[in-house]
A and B are shown apart, each in its own frame.
Chain A
Amino acid sequence: GQQLNQSPQSMFIQEGEDVSMNCTSSSIFNTWLWYKQDPGEGPVLLIALYKAGELTSNGRLTAQFGITRKDSFLNISASIPSDVGIYFCAGQLGGNNRLAFGKGNQVVVIP
Protein backbone atom coordinates (compact mmCIF):
# COMPACT_ATOMS: atom_id res chain seq x y z
CA GLY A 1 0.00 0.00 0.00
CA GLN A 2 0.95 3.64 -0.05
CA GLN A 3 3.42 4.58 2.64
CA LEU A 4 3.12 7.89 4.46
CA ASN A 5 6.03 8.83 6.68
CA GLN A 6 5.38 11.19 9.55
CA SER A 7 8.13 12.88 11.48
CA PRO A 8 8.92 13.28 14.24
CA GLN A 9 7.02 10.41 15.89
CA SER A 10 6.64 12.25 19.18
CA MET A 11 7.22 15.78 20.40
CA PHE A 12 7.36 17.37 23.82
CA ILE A 13 6.79 21.09 23.61
CA GLN A 14 6.41 23.94 26.04
CA GLU A 15 3.02 25.62 26.24
CA GLY A 16 3.02 28.69 24.01
CA GLU A 17 5.57 27.32 21.55
CA ASP A 18 4.87 26.61 17.90
CA VAL A 19 5.14 23.04 16.63
CA SER A 20 5.54 21.72 13.10
CA MET A 21 5.15 18.23 11.78
CA ASN A 22 5.75 16.75 8.39
CA CYS A 23 4.33 14.00 6.23
CA THR A 24 6.07 12.62 3.15
CA SER A 25 5.47 9.91 0.62
CA SER A 26 7.07 8.42 -2.45
CA SER A 27 3.65 8.57 -4.12
CA ILE A 28 1.89 11.59 -5.57
CA PHE A 29 -1.37 12.40 -3.79
CA ASN A 30 -4.39 14.37 -4.98
CA THR A 31 -5.58 15.16 -1.48
CA TRP A 32 -3.88 15.61 1.87
CA LEU A 33 -5.68 15.70 5.19
CA TRP A 34 -4.69 16.18 8.80
CA TYR A 35 -6.56 14.53 11.67
CA LYS A 36 -6.22 14.79 15.43
CA GLN A 37 -7.00 12.00 17.86
CA ASP A 38 -7.61 12.72 21.52
CA PRO A 39 -7.06 9.89 24.02
CA GLY A 40 -9.93 7.40 23.90
CA GLU A 41 -11.57 9.10 20.93
CA GLY A 42 -11.73 8.66 17.19
CA PRO A 43 -9.72 10.89 14.83
CA VAL A 44 -11.26 14.24 13.98
CA LEU A 45 -10.57 16.08 10.73
CA LEU A 46 -8.60 19.31 11.19
CA ILE A 47 -7.72 20.46 7.68
CA ALA A 48 -8.25 19.16 4.13
CA LEU A 49 -6.01 20.23 1.22
CA TYR A 50 -6.98 19.69 -2.40
CA LYS A 51 -4.48 21.56 -4.57
CA ALA A 52 -0.70 21.47 -4.81
CA GLY A 53 0.73 24.52 -3.08
CA GLU A 54 -2.47 25.18 -1.16
CA LEU A 55 -1.97 26.78 2.24
CA THR A 56 -4.95 26.57 4.59
CA SER A 57 -5.51 27.78 8.12
CA ASN A 58 -7.97 26.70 10.79
CA GLY A 59 -7.52 28.85 13.88
CA ARG A 60 -4.02 28.25 15.20
CA LEU A 61 -3.45 25.46 12.68
CA THR A 62 -1.86 25.94 9.28
CA ALA A 63 -1.27 23.20 6.75
CA GLN A 64 0.23 23.15 3.28
CA PHE A 65 -0.03 20.78 0.34
CA GLY A 66 3.48 20.43 -1.05
CA ILE A 67 4.23 21.53 -4.60
CA THR A 68 5.55 18.10 -5.51
CA ARG A 69 2.29 16.59 -4.15
CA LYS A 70 4.42 14.16 -2.16
CA ASP A 71 4.39 15.98 1.14
CA SER A 72 2.44 18.14 3.53
CA PHE A 73 3.14 19.93 6.76
CA LEU A 74 1.01 20.99 9.72
CA ASN A 75 1.93 23.85 12.02
CA ILE A 76 0.34 24.61 15.38
CA SER A 77 1.04 28.07 16.71
CA ALA A 78 1.07 29.11 20.37
CA SER A 79 0.37 25.61 21.66
CA ILE A 80 -2.03 25.07 24.56
CA PRO A 81 -2.57 21.99 26.77
CA SER A 82 -5.58 20.79 24.76
CA ASP A 83 -3.35 20.41 21.69
CA VAL A 84 -2.15 17.17 23.27
CA GLY A 85 -2.97 14.19 21.10
CA ILE A 86 -1.93 12.17 18.09
CA TYR A 87 -1.86 13.96 14.75
CA PHE A 88 -2.32 11.85 11.63
CA CYS A 89 -1.71 12.82 8.06
CA ALA A 90 -3.73 11.06 5.38
CA GLY A 91 -3.57 11.10 1.62
CA GLN A 92 -5.68 10.01 -1.29
CA LEU A 93 -4.04 8.96 -4.55
CA GLY A 94 -7.12 9.74 -6.61
CA GLY A 95 -9.55 7.63 -8.55
CA ASN A 96 -10.92 6.10 -5.37
CA ASN A 97 -11.91 7.32 -1.95
CA ARG A 98 -9.63 5.17 0.17
CA LEU A 99 -7.24 7.10 2.33
CA ALA A 100 -3.76 6.05 3.36
CA PHE A 101 -2.81 7.15 6.88
CA GLY A 102 0.53 7.93 8.42
CA LYS A 103 1.47 6.36 11.75
CA GLY A 104 0.88 9.56 13.66
CA ASN A 105 2.79 12.19 15.64
CA GLN A 106 2.29 12.16 19.40
CA VAL A 107 2.29 15.73 20.74
CA VAL A 108 2.70 16.44 24.45
CA VAL A 109 2.35 20.01 25.68
CA ILE A 110 4.13 20.85 28.91
CA PRO A 111 2.37 23.59 30.91
Chain B
Amino acid sequence: IAGITQAPTSQILAAGRRMTLRCTQDMRHNAMYWYRQDLGLGLRLIHYSNTAGTTGKGEVPDGYSVSRANTDDFPLTLASAVPSQTSVYFCASSDTNRDTEAFFGQGTRLTVV
Protein backbone atom coordinates (compact mmCIF):
# COMPACT_ATOMS: atom_id res chain seq x y z
CA ILE B 1 0.00 0.00 0.00
CA ALA B 2 1.42 3.37 -1.02
CA GLY B 3 2.07 5.92 1.67
CA ILE B 4 4.55 7.25 4.17
CA THR B 5 6.60 5.07 6.47
CA GLN B 6 8.23 6.38 9.62
CA ALA B 7 10.76 4.58 11.76
CA PRO B 8 11.08 3.91 14.59
CA THR B 9 7.51 3.99 15.89
CA SER B 10 8.77 4.87 19.34
CA GLN B 11 12.07 5.50 21.03
CA ILE B 12 13.41 6.34 24.46
CA LEU B 13 16.60 8.33 24.15
CA ALA B 14 19.13 9.56 26.68
CA ALA B 15 19.69 13.31 26.70
CA GLY B 16 22.74 14.32 24.72
CA ARG B 17 22.49 11.42 22.29
CA ARG B 18 22.14 11.81 18.55
CA MET B 19 19.05 10.39 16.87
CA THR B 20 17.74 10.21 13.32
CA LEU B 21 14.08 9.71 12.61
CA ARG B 22 13.49 8.12 9.24
CA CYS B 23 10.75 8.94 6.76
CA THR B 24 10.15 7.35 3.37
CA GLN B 25 7.32 7.95 0.92
CA ASP B 26 6.52 6.03 -2.25
CA MET B 27 4.04 8.45 -3.79
CA ARG B 28 6.72 10.46 -5.64
CA HIS B 29 5.57 13.61 -3.88
CA ASN B 30 7.85 16.60 -4.31
CA ALA B 31 7.26 18.20 -0.93
CA MET B 32 7.94 16.67 2.47
CA TYR B 33 7.57 17.98 5.99
CA TRP B 34 8.37 17.22 9.61
CA TYR B 35 5.96 18.26 12.36
CA ARG B 36 5.99 17.78 16.08
CA GLN B 37 2.78 17.37 18.03
CA ASP B 38 2.57 18.40 21.66
CA LEU B 39 -0.42 18.49 23.95
CA GLY B 40 -2.15 21.84 23.78
CA LEU B 41 0.10 23.08 20.98
CA GLY B 42 -1.17 21.14 17.99
CA LEU B 43 1.08 20.44 15.03
CA ARG B 44 4.11 22.66 14.54
CA LEU B 45 6.30 22.58 11.47
CA ILE B 46 9.98 21.83 12.12
CA HIS B 47 11.50 21.67 8.64
CA TYR B 48 10.23 21.19 5.13
CA SER B 49 11.53 20.38 1.67
CA ASN B 50 9.82 21.58 -1.50
CA THR B 51 11.84 19.27 -3.72
CA ALA B 52 14.83 16.95 -3.59
CA GLY B 53 18.00 18.88 -2.81
CA THR B 54 16.27 21.76 -1.01
CA THR B 55 15.19 22.27 2.59
CA GLY B 56 13.74 25.08 4.65
CA LYS B 57 13.09 25.99 8.26
CA GLY B 58 9.65 25.83 9.74
CA GLU B 59 8.23 27.28 12.93
CA VAL B 60 10.41 25.35 15.43
CA PRO B 61 13.66 24.33 13.67
CA ASP B 62 16.17 24.75 16.53
CA GLY B 63 17.89 21.53 17.56
CA TYR B 64 16.86 19.71 14.39
CA SER B 65 18.37 19.21 10.95
CA VAL B 66 17.10 17.55 7.79
CA SER B 67 18.41 16.44 4.43
CA ARG B 68 16.69 15.59 1.15
CA ALA B 69 19.12 13.61 -0.97
CA ASN B 70 16.33 12.08 -3.07
CA THR B 71 12.57 12.34 -3.58
CA ASP B 72 11.60 9.47 -1.31
CA ASP B 73 13.55 10.05 1.90
CA PHE B 74 13.50 12.91 4.38
CA PRO B 75 15.35 12.05 7.62
CA LEU B 76 15.16 14.28 10.68
CA THR B 77 18.20 14.41 12.96
CA LEU B 78 18.47 15.53 16.56
CA ALA B 79 22.17 16.23 17.01
CA SER B 80 22.08 16.29 20.82
CA ALA B 81 18.68 15.44 22.23
CA VAL B 82 17.16 17.42 25.11
CA PRO B 83 14.08 16.58 27.21
CA SER B 84 12.05 19.37 25.56
CA GLN B 85 12.28 17.41 22.34
CA THR B 86 10.06 14.74 23.85
CA SER B 87 7.14 14.71 21.45
CA VAL B 88 5.33 12.82 18.73
CA TYR B 89 6.93 13.49 15.37
CA PHE B 90 5.01 13.28 12.12
CA CYS B 91 6.42 13.19 8.64
CA ALA B 92 4.17 14.28 5.77
CA SER B 93 4.34 14.72 2.01
CA SER B 94 2.33 16.48 -0.67
CA ASP B 95 2.13 16.52 -4.44
CA THR B 96 3.04 19.62 -6.41
CA ASN B 97 -0.37 19.80 -8.04
CA ARG B 98 -2.19 19.59 -4.70
CA ASP B 99 0.53 20.96 -2.52
CA THR B 100 -1.67 21.71 0.46
CA GLU B 101 -3.11 18.20 0.73
CA ALA B 102 -0.52 16.63 2.97
CA PHE B 103 -0.42 12.91 3.68
CA PHE B 104 0.91 11.98 7.11
CA GLY B 105 2.88 9.03 8.45
CA GLN B 106 1.93 7.14 11.60
CA GLY B 107 4.25 9.14 13.80
CA THR B 108 7.29 8.49 15.98
CA ARG B 109 6.87 8.85 19.71
CA LEU B 110 10.16 10.10 21.13
CA THR B 111 10.94 10.37 24.81
CA VAL B 112 14.17 12.07 25.86
CA VAL B 113 15.22 11.30 29.40
Contacts and interface: CB of A to CB of B under 8 A. Distances in A.
A67 interface: no
A73 interface: no
A106 B28 CA distance: 32
Nearest to B50: A97
Contacts of B40: 103
Interface in B24-66: 31, 33, 35, 40-45, 48, 50, 58-59
B13 interface: no
B42 A103 contact: yes
Interface stretch (A11-19, A40-48, A57-65, A76-84): A40-48
Interface residues of A, number: 21
A87 to B, nearest CB: 11
Interface of B: 4, 31, 33, 35, 40-45, 48, 50, 58-59, 90, 92, 94, 98-107
Given A42-B106, A48-B100, A98-B33, 13 more contacts: A35-B104, A40-B106, A41-B107, A42-B92, A42-B104, A42-B105, A45-B102, A48-B98, A48-B101, A88-B42, A101-B43, A103-B42, A104-B42
Interface of A: 1, 31, 33, 35, 40-45, 48, 88, 90, 92, 97-99, 101-104
15 contacts: A31-B100, A42-B92, A42-B104, A48-B98, A48-B101, A88-B42, A92-B100, A97-B99, A97-B100, A99-B100, A101-B35, A101-B43, A101-B44, A103-B41, A103-B42
